[in-house]
């Protein structure tokens, strides 16, 4: 869901923080639950919450969940990323890093509910295990 800078308010910031906190807690539990399954398949499994920046309404800030599956001690097999929030500055639809007159700050928030994200993660892991070995 796209947000314009005029829509950035305390309520949206709290919604983003709450979603990040809940999904961060969930991804840690999820990784612990799945570790033994991947260990039996001789695969490395990593799931984590990633955040760049401090202020959610500053261009360059982003938060996401990522799941990586790799051969034991080896090459990455698959990576799945779910973006939670991303704030960018753009001009004429092109992303830019500097504040140029006429540029706009926008944010993009996760379109799915927390339960839908949890289900997507479970489905992704299940499909990954079916496609391997």
DSSP 20-88: HHHHHHHHHHHHHHHHHHHHHTTEEEEEEEEEE-S-TTSTT-EEEEEEEEEETTS-EEEEEEEEEEEEE
Per-residue pLDDT at 133 exceeds 60:
no
pLDDT band, residue 132 (cuts 50/70/90): low
Half-sphere exposure of 76 (CA within 13 A, CB side): 7
77 Rama sector, left if φ>0, alpha if ψ -120 to 50, beta otherwise: alpha
Q: Reduce the DSSP state of residue 1 to 3 states and report it.
A: coil
pTM reported for the whole predicted model? 0.87
């Amino acid at each position: 869901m796209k947000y314009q800078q005029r829509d950035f308010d305390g309520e949206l910031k709290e919604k983003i923080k709450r979603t990040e906190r809940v999904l961060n807690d969930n991804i840690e539990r999820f990784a612990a639950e799945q570790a033994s399954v991947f260990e039996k398949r001789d695969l490395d499994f990593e799931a984590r919450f990633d955040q760049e920046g401090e202020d959610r309404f500053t261009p360059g800030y982003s938060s996401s969940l990522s799941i990586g599956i790799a051969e034991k001690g080896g090459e990455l097999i698959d990576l799945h990323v779910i973006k939670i929030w991303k704030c960018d500055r753009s001009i004429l639809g092109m992303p830019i890093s500097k504040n140029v007159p006429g540029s706009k700050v926008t944010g993009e928030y996760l379109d799915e509910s927390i339960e839908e994200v949890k289900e997507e993660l479970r489905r992704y892991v299940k499909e990954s295990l079916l496609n391997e070995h």
